[in-house]
Homo-oligomer: A and B are copies of this chain.
Amino acid sequence: MIADTPSTTYYAVIFTSLRTDGDHGYAEAAERMVELAREQPGFLGVESARGGDGLGITVSYWASEAAILAWKHHPEHSEIRERGRSTWYSACHTRVCRVERAYAFKTAT
């Protein structure tokens, strides 16, 4: 569930959101977006969590800025983004980042 990202330069898109009340097709659309993102060139992985207070954080990882822009302009993604703004989210913030360095830790199993 923690994304297995490369040791070379890559990018992260941090999407933080506050949900409105009710589902209104959100769960299905969110699942579809992850499925679609996975098919995009340059997609490296995704991590997602939403707490009991309604704050959700989804971080997707990408090989390049070009891959992020292509995903941004994907027709189905653009359409869903509009529904997010009109229906599912009361607020959201998208931050496009370059990952400078990373550290991992995992217990021996």
Q: Which residues of A contact B (CB under 8 A)?
A: 1-3, 5, 11-12, 14, 16-18, 47-51, 53, 55-57, 59, 65, 85, 89-107
Question: A92 touching B14 by the CB < 8 A rule?
Answer: no
What residue of chain B has the Cβ atom nearest to residue A86's Cβ? B107
Check if B97 sits within 8 Å of A103, measured CB to CB.
Answer: no
Instruction: State the 9 A-B residue pairs at the shortest beta-carbon distance, nearest first.
Output: A97-B97, A49-B51, A49-B49, A91-B106, A57-B57, A95-B102, A94-B103, A49-B57, A1-B55
Number of copies: 2
Q: Known contacts A5-B93, A16-B47, A90-B107; can you find 20 more A-B pairs with CB under 8 A?
A: A1-B55, A3-B16, A12-B14, A12-B95, A12-B97, A14-B14, A47-B55, A48-B51, A49-B49, A51-B51, A92-B105, A93-B102, A93-B104, A94-B103, A95-B99, A96-B100, A96-B102, A97-B99, A97-B100, A98-B98
